[in-house]
Amino acid sequence: MNPKKLKQLKKQHRKANPQPQQSTYIQQLTQYGELFQDFPRIKYLINLILVNDRLMQDQLLPQPVVKMLLPDDIQDEIFTYLNQHYPSGDPIGDRLWEEYSEALPKLDRLLRNYRDYLEATYGMWSFTNTKFISALSKYLQGAPVLEIMAGNGYISKGLRDLNHQQTIITTDDQSWVKENETGKHPVTKVQNYSAIEAIKTFHDRVDYVIMAWAPDKGDADWQVLQLIRQAYPELKLLVIGEYQGATNSQQFWQTAQLSQPDALQPLNQALQSFDLIDEQIYLVQ
């Protein structure tokens, strides 16, 4: 699909599915977990979200998830289950079938909105899960890191927890605080610097710059790229985002020299898409 059309599709999906409120979202999933307790494949998906929510409430990183979609044959499975447990025409079986059938599309919508829930509740945009952070930490091998546009600091938090000796400088200018949850609930110390200011201030103290989910509006990411190219070419820039999709400016994607060496493959495997977004990590020049 054409990248522009795919981007429009994603925006239309979000507009049609407003960001869920925390209590309502989790309460509904909990109720559906009880309703579908006899169907392990549904319970598994719901439990992934509920367990991750408890972890994030404790300022811990979430576990990896799978595709947040109901199985294509789930109605057949439910029909077979009811036929095995209730004779034809049994009013209890008929009532349960209606209840399940009514609930399935609502549950499907909740599962598809998982990323929106993370953004709206925790200000987490890139899905910074434990498997990804473990792979990133191994890739960096203790090298000093500057995270720019860090938001609530999930990437830095994860790296610090795995390597207390590693130099990790976490920065964000908090320009999105008034628009969403980004920056409102920091999970680690975040210093107030714009991306450009941070690079100019800390460039001689780090080997890597990490930029995750730069906005697709404005050209701050392109300015970062130009600054590193022109003034600090020794810095290695790692970018996490969706190529020509939900993140970063078109100017950035059109001018960035992207690479994904073999050493990055474990990281990208850990970022395996669970929804319409296909985020990846790139080494950028």
Q: CA geometry: angle at 48 spanning 46 and 51, to 5°? A: 105
| 92 and 157 together in one domain | no
> CB neighbours of 177 closer than 8 A, spacing ≥ 6?
183, 184
pLDDT value, residue 209: 98
| 142 and 163 together in one domain | yes
| 261 and 181 together in one domain | yes
| 174 and 196 together in one domain | yes
DSSP 262: G
| 114 and 136 together in one domain | no
pLDDT value, residue 181: 64
Whole-structure pTM value = 0.89
How many other CB atoms are found less than 10 A from the CB of residue 184? 14
| 80 and 164 together in one domain | no
Segments forming the whole domain that contains residue 41: 3-122
**pLDDT digit string (tens) for the chain, length 285 residues:** 454 444 555 545 554 555 555 569 999 999 999 999 999 999 999 999 999 999 999 999 999 999 999 999 999 999 999 999 999 889 999 999 999 999 999 999 999 999 999 999 999 999 999 999 999 999 999 999 999 999 999 999 999 999 999 999 999 998 766 566 666 789 999 999 999 999 999 999 999 999 999 999 899 999 999 999 999 999 999 999 999 999 999 999 999 999 999 999 999 999 999 999 999 999 999
How far apart are alpha carbons 135 and 5 in whole angstroms? 32
Instruction: Please identify, among 76, 106, 122, the residue that sits at the C-terminal boundary of a domain.
Output: 122
Contacts 24+ apart (CB under 8 A), 65-73: 65/114, 65/127, 65/129, 65/274, 66/274, 67/273, 67/274, 67/275, 68/111, 68/112, 68/114, 68/274, 68/275, 69/108, 69/111, 69/112, 70/42, 70/45, 70/104, 70/107, 70/108, 70/111, 71/41
CA terminus-to-terminus distance, the chain? 27
pLDDT value, residue 185: 85
| 84 and 160 together in one domain | no
Q: CA geometry: angle at 269 spanning 263 and 271, to 5°? A: 115
DSSP 204: G
pLDDT value, residue 178: 58
Q: Is 239 helix (H, G, I), strand (E, B) or coil?
A: strand
> CB neighbours of 119 closer than 8 A, spacing ≥ 6?
19, 125, 180, 181
Q: Can you tell me which residue has the tokens 């800390």?
A: 202
| 239 and 192 together in one domain | yes
* Domains contained in the chain, number: 2
Query: Residue 154 sits in a domain of what CATH number?
Result: 3.40.50.150
Helix (H) or strand (E) holding 228: helix 220-231
Instruction: Please identify, among 63, 87, 122, the residue that sits at the C-terminal boundary of a domain.
Output: 122
How far apart are alpha carbons 172 and 190 in whole angstroms? 7
Query: CA torsion, points 235, 158, 252, 172, in degrees to nearest 10?
Result: -90
| 208 and 93 together in one domain | no
> CB neighbours of 274 closer than 8 A, spacing ≥ 6?
65, 66, 67, 68, 114, 115, 127
How far apart are alpha carbons 179 and 175 in whole angstroms? 8
| 260 and 153 together in one domain | yes
| 137 and 116 together in one domain | no
How far apart are alpha carbons 268 and 272 in whole angstroms? 6
Query: CA torsion, points 10, 13, 18, 20, in degrees to nearest 10?
Result: -80
| 113 and 137 together in one domain | no
Instruction: Please identify, among 91, 122, 153, the residue that sits at the C-terminal boundary of a domain.
Output: 122
